[in-house]
Amino acid sequence: MTRLEPLTPVDTTGLFAPLSAELVALLRGLAESDWSKPTVAGAWSVKDVAGHLLDGQLRRLAYGRDAHTGRGPASGAYGDVVAFINELNATGVAYAARLSPRVLTDLLEVTGEWVARYFASLPPSGEARFAVDWAGEARSENWMDVGREYTEHWHHQMQIRDAVGAPLLLQPRWLDPLLDLSVRAFPRAYREESAPVGTAVCFEVAGERPRAWSVVREASGWVVMRGRAVRPAASVTADADAAWRLLYNALPPEAQRTRLTTAGDAALLAPLFRARSVMV
CATH number at residue 61: 1.20.120.450
Task: Average the pLDDT over each of 89-93, 157-161, 243-247 and give the range with the smallest value.
Answer: 89-93
Q: Which of 115, 136, 169 marks a domain boundary?
A: 169
**Pair 159, 198 in one domain:** no
Residue 177 lies in a domain: no
**Pair 103, 230 in one domain:** no
Q: How many domains does the chain have?
A: 2
Please give the model's pTM, rounded to 2 decimal places: 0.94
**Pair 69, 148 in one domain:** yes
> Which residue range(s) make up the domain with 199?
183-274
Mean of pLDDT values over 199-213: 94
**Pair 30, 159 in one domain:** yes
pLDDT of residue 36: 98
Q: Which of 140, 169, 198 marks a domain boundary?
A: 169
Mean of pLDDT values over 6-13: 98
The amino acid occupying position 144 is: M
**Higher-confidence position of 108 and 74:** 108
**Pair 26, 114 in one domain:** yes
Give CA–CA dist 262/136, Å, rounded.
26
Which CATH number does the domain housing residue 235 bear?
A: 3.30.1050.10
**Pair 111, 199 in one domain:** no
Mean of pLDDT values over 188-205: 97
Torsion of CA 111, 276, 192, 130, to 10 degrees: 0
Give CA–CA dist 79/206, Å, rounded.
35
Residue 279 lies in a domain: no
Residue 31 lies in a domain: yes
Instruction: Give the CA distances from residue 77 to residues 120, 133, 196, in Å, rounded to whole numbers and listed in that order.
Output: 30, 10, 29
**Pair 112, 187 in one domain:** no
**Pair 63, 190 in one domain:** no
pLDDT of residue 2: 53
**Pair 83, 111 in one domain:** yes
Instruction: Give the CA distances from residue 62 to residues 24, 162, 247, in Å, rounded to whole numbers and listed in that order.
Output: 22, 30, 28
Q: Are 232 and 195 in contact (CB under 8 A)?
A: no
